[in-house]
Structure 1
Amino acid sequence: MAGEVELRGDKSQVDEQEHPTLRNKILSLQKLKRFDSLDLETRTIPGHNTVILHLAFQSIGIVYGDIGTSPLYVYASIFPNGIKHEEDTMAALSILFYTLTFSTLVKYVFIVLQATDNGDGGTFALYSLICRYANVGLTPNEQAEDKNISNFQLELPSNRLKRATWIKSRLEKSKFAKYLLLFVTVFGTSMLIGDGIFTPSISVMSAVGGIKEATPAMTQDRIVWISVVILIGLFMVQRFGTDKMGYTFAPILSLWFALLSGIGIYNFFKFDPTIIKALNPKYIVDYFIRNKKDAWISLGGAVLCITGAEALFADVGHFTVRSIRLSTCFVAYPAIVLAYMGQTAFLRKHPDDIADTFFKSIPGPLYWPMFVLAVLASIIASQSLISGTFSIVQQSLSLGCFPRVKIVHTSANYKGQVYVPEINYLLMLACVGVTLGFGSSVQLGHAYGLAVVMVMVITSCFLVLVMIMIWKTHILLVILYVVVIGGMEFLYLSSVLYKIDQGGYLPLVLGAVLVTIMLVWNDVYRRKYYYELNNKISPLEVREIANNAKLCRIPGLALFYSELVQGIPPIFKHYVENVPALHSVLVFVSIRSLPISKVPVEERFFFRRIEPTELHVFRCVARYGYNDFRKEKEPFERMLVERLMEFIKTDFWIDDDNNKEPANEGVVEVPVGEVIENEDNSVGDQEEKRRDQEVMIGREIDAVEEAWNSGVVHLMGESEVIARPGAWLGKRILIDYAYSFLKRNLRQNYDKVFDIPHKKMVKVGMTYEL
């Protein structure tokens, strides 16, 4: 029948050739289909079109700065007391080779990169996947409607194994497991931020230390102060962003890797080609038999060869999985292996030069070029980790795990390039402090190694859950991963923990401070949300307030912001009691962070109408992923109003459809504006009804446009929280002191997030007793 479309289940029976525009309309109507209840309100990334080789080249300058500069300091960290046996260097090369192969290639390149969240990686990506598959997230405003977002869906294999369902059920029923997953995620995030502190310090100090080869008068104290000056300069230029600097990163690091490879091959043939025998793991066994405890302790230095391996996963969102694999397999991995082979061959003939292996093994004519490149490469490595820390803070903030700080997007072309002023200066102070405090790259390596291994272990733990629950990997493959990769990482972890009194305590202290900040903020955030949820205003109260004869309706559009998603916050009633006036169109706006990396723009705004229609009162939830950001060329206010008008147009059709009795169970008839003939209605009745609906739609859209043209006012709900009288001491310290301190010093409100002019903003304050 012309104009009639049946929607069975989730599939639309539409002829794409005959009705191309109709199909798009039906799909959009499907997304809006819902139950009309105020309490039920809001509950594939397009592939990279850039050439893969071009992305692989770009990734060299962003991803590999940290792992690419590890040859500067690894051997000095493995043998801080010198080489005791001539075969120890062979064993060290064997350890480095298999660590790089199993951790970098096998784990990250071929396994972990499969676990991206809509193309994004990192600890939050794995946590996001687990939360979307099992109901273990602690975000208080999770809603069923969020699962309708295209990026929220997971493509799952068949349920052929019962263990996935069993583990999912156990996680969902265990409150301890939910808190444990959140804690581990926050702790892993803290360790990554720790990388942002230690990487600049150890990389820059190791690179600058090479100048001792040219001028013996250069003391260690002078090297430390030169490193401090470079670090301060590096952090001071962060506010300018890395967009322009990024074009120079890839060529510099490409040249760095080329020279690493060339020097490694040169030293290999010049000093000792027989080191190729180190590929035999028997050297590792003999090394442990010969040195016993000392061999185990030396693993804490060997693990530094994979510093930055986590960046392969964390930074994949800026590129693609294929581009990262290409640049790793054909550039970074072989260059680093060749560099270690060349250093090993050099040490076979010069074992006393272990403290400065990198610079002493460089052929004379290449010394100054390599020194300059080493300093530049260390700065690039530092830049990458600093930028990564900013992105981590942004993700934590989006999921309610960090105080609202100012996020500055420094590039219109690269979404991941952000700058956080408060975090930048805290990182600078921390980097300068650890550089002055430790004074040598060997001591810094003890602290650095612990942060690196902690992140890797957490990634492996989450990955095992993903493999079992989501991928439903064969149990034998899971066991193989745990035994090989997990066993290696826990062996490294035990080694770095042994050096906890030699500097390894520092990342734990920093992690404890960051975890405390995140958990305090998240706990009070949830308490506040549940308070508003339990004291929300009912739809009936909203209608009574809007229809109150004493309440004046003035021209204009008012956007009332709150964090509550399910209902109207109590602060609204507080507002109308003190200001008895409402604008002609009122929209309650909630900013919602979802446990996914991105929300498509067309699915960002979720609207509801508060009846009756003539009130012109709406609810809106603006949904963002943890890697989404507001584009300067897309004003939030304009986008919201445009989406509101689209909602008004479709809402009439949906309401009309909801009032019909479906002819068949599971079949929904959707009117599309064409003449529809059936047994109950004549063609004329349908045409008249269609005209009436168009008139109603036009009136309401005109009302919104008129209100928008009359002016927009942004009403900000500024709720203060205090512990209720009689609360126990711990709760008062948590809310009245810890949370209040963080909010006063770091909090950033919606007016700064969306660039709301102060002349359009009105703040409404209220105190909640929790």
Structure 2
Amino acid sequence: MPGHGAGVGNPVRLALIVGALGVVFGDIGTSPIYTLQTVFDPHDPHPVPVSTDNVFGVVSLVFWSVMIIVTVTYVLLAMRADHDGEGGIMALITLLRRSSAPRGRRVALVLAALGIFGASLFFGDSMITPAISVLSSVEGLEVVQPSLERLVVPITAVIIIGLFLVQRHGTAVVGRMFGPVMIVWFTAIGACGIAGITRHPQILKALSPTYALGFLFGHFGTAFFALAAVVLAVTGAEALYADMGHFGRRAITRAWLLLVFPACILSYFGQGALILDDPANISSPFFLLVPGWGRLPMVLLATAATVIASQAVITGAFSVTSQAAQLGYLPRLRITHTSESTIGQIYVPWINWLLMVSVLTLVFAFRSSTALAFAFGMAVTGTITITTLLFFYVARVKWRTPWWLISLGAVPLLIIDLLFVAANLTKLVHGAWLPLLIALTAFTVMTTWQRGRHIVTAERERHEGALRVFVDDLAAGKPPTLKVPGTAVFLNRGKHTAPLAMRANVEHNHVRHEHVVVLSIQTEPVPRLAEGERISVDNLGHGDDGITHVTARYGYMENPNVPAALASVDPADTEGRLDLDQASYFLSKIDLRVGDQPSMALWRKHLFIATSYITADAAEYFGLPRDRTVIMGSHIEV
């Protein structure tokens, strides 16, 4: 894992912390803009009355929610469950697959499906975050000049369009500025929070959990509905875990504990003090906390911070899409690497434009951050609950943690998580349905693709036949074929079946190349593989006949490059016969058709075939030279 073992004074550690501030904490760091405003929103169907007791209760509830969910669940617990340094729901799913005993396989499969639903919720999050974040910052213009209210939505739309248009250029240059900007942001909101607290220092009493518990149990009806907005304070918590592979657990933990957590809490307490001073300040407590002369600069700084928050979640959507495709839950999509030095910086055009259209639709449909807030909360609570559940299962099966200790941690944390979920479900008709619909759609697409892929693979293997039998027949002269000079590389799904393109070339054209490589790409359930583990060679018992099978292994966070993989093959394994500079590459293209087999429901068959149309061009995906790539087709019914 990057950064492990570095000392506090190590400049690399400092660079990692600054980098983490720019990428990891944008979402959770901009939550103070809209959280308390949403809690006390008078237009809420279940409004929280503004009173001294309620302000103390809400601020205390926000503090302890952040403490328990972010600091305890994620920083202290979940981030210890890494998979080769990588975190996030996809890493937990992989740990489930590898750690489960055979008798627990069914439970692991159910939990893995739940994890896929959690990843699906993230797609909803990646649509809602840019909309609510940028809207909330631009709404600060209303505080500076109320007459600018009508410009909020158009300005937001322009910023969002610009944000998505620059994605294809990569964020390497802008990314170096993210960390310093966020340092200024957290310093500013912390300072404003301190200024607010000096007006009513007694607000610091809300640090005591008795105020949160008193509000929750003394005014349960009000507090329960307030939870649907309080959860906004922990939006972005999943990013701490998901981005762990880029910065390391220690860098993220230190950035959180030393700067982000204190700054956010100071802002919440300052806003609470401001509301105590004048209940009318609930209209925009975050921006009203800023002195009049600093409000326009704060709007600009908030806009920059929310763009950074949006950038982080968009990048996260690209990464989740890439990982899901590598693990077989989505078709391979065209992926562009936007940085030669940073592996994780990728651009997925199809996802980028889908997100842009979705975000703009949300902005024009909801038109305010408070209207979007309940939709946002549902996505967050669902993801947090699933992460907590998967973590404790992994803790039990992988680390053999005693049941009594599991119960001691899991029961209270899951009760808190489920309380937040229940509160957000009460907002179902007010927007909470949206992330559930998005997640259900993404989940259906991913599980349908995985199921259809298994069906097609089984049917394809039946058509292809055994590779060793096919090679044995070739060696025996059945059917008679003409050897032509050169090297042919046939891409195949595995080493047990004959590539359809190779079989068609032999059976219909009656020719084969002098040197043949059957190449299989294998995605391992690890993020990345060392180069020494990437290639394995098998001469199939006919090494002297020029036919070799090569397996190229990649981690689920890597993108395969076939020519580069073949170039790393030891010449001794192929007797130095491969001429890669002039090699021809053969791909088997499958035309999918709806069949009569009861393999899937008819609507799922149509969905699977429709999804296959967004599959990236195989030659581009595998890095093949187009002028030397031959595509041969076949059709399969599903």
Residues 277-314 of structure 1, C-alpha deviations (whole Å, 9 max, x = no match): 11222222332355332210110100000100110000
Give secondary structure in 2 for the equivalent of 1:95. Answer: helix
Residue equivalent to 2:563: 637
1:341-364, Cα deviation, whole Å (9 max, x unpaired):
111111110111112010111122
- Taking the aligned partners of 1:110 and 1:564, their CA distance within structure 2 comes to 41
TM-score (norm 2): 0.94
Question: Which amino acid counterpart does residue 65 of structure 1 have in structure 2?
Answer: G
d(CA) in 2 for partners of 1:731 and 1:73?
A: 44
**3-state SS, counterpart of residue 762 of structure 1:** strand
Amino acid at match of 2:330: F
Task: Provide the aligned length of Structure 1 versus Structure 2.
Answer: 627
Is contact 2:195-2:270 (8 Å) kept?
Answer: yes
2:78 equivalent to 1:116 = no
Alpha-carbon separation, structure 1, partners of 2:266 and 2:219? 26
- Answering whether residue 151 of structure 2 is matched by residue 277 of structure 1, we say no
- 2:305 equivalent to 1:372: no
Match of 1:714 among 585, 601, 621: 585
User: Do structure 1's residue 106 and structure 2's residue 72 form an aligned pair?
Assistant: yes
Q: 1:225 aligns with which of 149, 154, 158?
A: 154
Q: Pairwise mapping of residues 675-694 of structure 1 onto structure 2 (< 5 A)?
A: none
CA distance change for structure 1 residues 544 and 644 in 2, over 3 Å: closer, same or farther?
farther
Q: CA deviation at 1:605?
A: 1.7
Match of 1:740 in 2: 609
Cα drift, residue 622 of structure 1: 1.6
- 2:103 corresponds to 1:170: yes
Contact 1:410–1:419 (8 Å) recurs in 2:
yes
- Summarize the alignment of residues 265-304 of structure 1 with structure 2, pairs less than 5 Å apart: 265-269=194-198, 271-304=199-232
Would you say the 8 A contact 1:537–1:570 is kept in 2? no
Contact kept? 2:81, 2:92, Cα under 8 Å: yes
Conservation of the 8 A alpha-carbon contact between 1:556 and 1:708: no
Alpha-carbon deviations, 1:473-510, whole Å to 9, x = none?
23222112112221111110100111011000001111
The question of 1:195 aligning with 2:109 is answered: no
Deviations along 1:31-69, one digit per CA (max 9) or x if unpaired, are xxxxxxxxxxxxx88968872222111110000000000
Kept in 2, the 8 Å contact 1:415–1:629? The answer is no
Q: Choose which of 729, 734, 757 in structure 1 pairs with 2:625.
A: 757
Aligned equivalents of 1:644, 1:566: Cα separation in 2: 22
Q: Check conservation: 2:197, 2:270, Cα contact below 8 A.
A: yes
Q: How far apart in 2 are the matches of 1:553 and 1:459?
A: 56
Kindly indicate whether the alpha-carbon contact (under 8 Å) linking 1:565 and 1:590 is maintained by their aligned counterparts in 2: yes
Q: Which structure would you say has the larger Rg?
A: 1
The one-letter code sitting in structure 2 at the alignment partner of 1:116 is: D
From 25, 32, 36, the counterpart of 1:64: 25
Give the RMSD, CA atoms, in angstroms. 2.0
C-alpha deviation, 1:559, in angstroms: 0.9
- Summarize deviations over 1:598-641 as a string: whole Å, max 9, x none: 111221122211122211211122211111135xxxx6314314
- Contact 2:374 2:430 (8 Å CA) reproduced: yes
SS at match of 2:624: coil
- Gap change, CA 1:510 and 1:637, over 3 Å in 2: same
Task: Give the alignment partner of residue 241 of structure 1, picking from 160, 166, 170.
Answer: 170
The unaligned stretches of length 5 or more in structure 1 are 1-43, 135-167, 649-699
Structure 2 counterpart of 1:93, one-letter code: V
Confirm or deny: 8 A CA contact 1:48 1:320 kept in the other structure.
no
Distance in 2 between residues matched to 1:181 and 1:591, nearest whole Å: 27
Whole-angstrom distance in 1 between the partners of 2:231 and 2:281: 21
Which residue does the alignment assign to 1:543? 472
| Displacement of 1:562 | 2.0
Whether the aligned pair in 1 keeps the contact of 2:96 and 2:108 (CA below 8 Å) is no
Q: In structure 2, what residue type is equivalent to 1:572?
A: M
Letter of the structure 1 residue corresponding to residue 608 of structure 2: Y
Equivalent position amino acid for 2:455 in 1: R
Indicate whether 1:183 and 2:113 are aligned: yes
Structure 1 position 179, deviation (Å) = 4.5
- How far, CA to CA, are the matches of 1:482 and 1:476 in structure 2? 10
Secondary structure in structure 2 of the residue aligned to 1:387: helix
- 1:516 is matched with which residue: 444, 460, 465? 444
The answer (yes or no) to whether the contact 1:400–1:522 under 8 Å persists in 2 is yes
Within 1, Cα distance between the matches of 2:520 and 2:5? Answer: 31
Cα distance in structure 1, aligned partners of 2:544 and 2:109: 45
Amino acid at match of 1:132: R
The one-letter code matched in structure 2 to 1:361 is: L
1:439-466 CA-partner distances (Å, limit 9, x unpaired): 1111201000000111111101110111
TM-superposed CA distance for 1:716, in Å, is: 0.2
Residues 56 and 213 (structure 1), Cα distance of their counterparts in 2 relative to 1, 3 Å cut: same
CA 1:291/1:347 → structure 2, altered by over 3 Å: closer, same or farther?
Answer: same
1:450-465 matches, cutoff 5 A:
450-465=378-393
TM-score normalised by L of structure 1 = 0.79
Rounded Cα–Cα distance in structure 1 between residues aligned with 2:429 and 2:475 = 65
**How has the CA–CA distance of structure 1 residues 398 and 48 changed in structure 2, closer, same or farther, with 3 Å as cutoff?**
farther
What is aligned with 1:262? 191
Structure 1 equivalent of residue 45 of structure 2: none
User: Which moves more between the two structures, 52-61 or 563-572?
Assistant: 563-572
Contact 1:240 1:410 in 2 (8 A): yes
326, 341, 353: which one aligns with 1:398: 326
SS in 1 for 2:52: coil
Change in Cα spacing, 1:129 to 1:264, as seen in structure 2 (3 Å) is same
Q: Distance in 2 between matches of 1:522 and 1:619?
A: 26
Structure 2 residue 338 is the aligned partner of structure 1 residue 410: yes
Aligned equivalents of 2:394 and 2:211: distance in 1? 35
| Distance 1:556-1:181 versus aligned 2 partners, 3 A rule | farther
1:588 lines up with 2:456 in the alignment: no
| Alignment correspondent of 2:41 | 80
Q: Which secondary structure state, in structure 2, belongs to the residue aligned with residue 126 of structure 1?
A: helix
The CA deviation string for residues 236-269 of structure 1, in whole angstroms up to 9 with x for no partner, is 1111111010011000000000111111111111
Residue identity matched to 1:487: I
CA distance in 2 between counterparts of 1:47 and 1:708 reads 40
On the 8 A contact 2:571/2:577 being kept in 1, the answer is no
> Which of 501, 516, 531 does residue 601 from structure 1 map onto?
531
Task: Give the equivalent residue in structure 2 for 1:41.
Answer: none
Once residues 300 and 565 of structure 1 are traced to their aligned partners in structure 2, the CA distance between those partners, rounded to angstroms, is 52
Deviations 1:185-205 (A, max 9, x none): 221111111111111011101
Which residue of structure 2 aligns with residue 153 of structure 1?
Answer: none
Match in the other structure for 1:53: 14
**Which runs of 5 or more structure 2 residues have no equivalent in the other structure?**
43-47
Shift of 1:727: 2.7
Could you tell me whether the CA contact under 8 Å between 1:73 and 1:441 is conserved in 2? yes
Once structures 1 and 2 are overlaid, which stretch shifts more, 611-620 or 78-87? 78-87
Q: Distance in 2 between matches of 1:618 and 1:608?
A: 6
Higher relative contact order (CA 8 A, sep 6+): 1
- CA-CA distance at 1:116 after TM superposition: 0.9
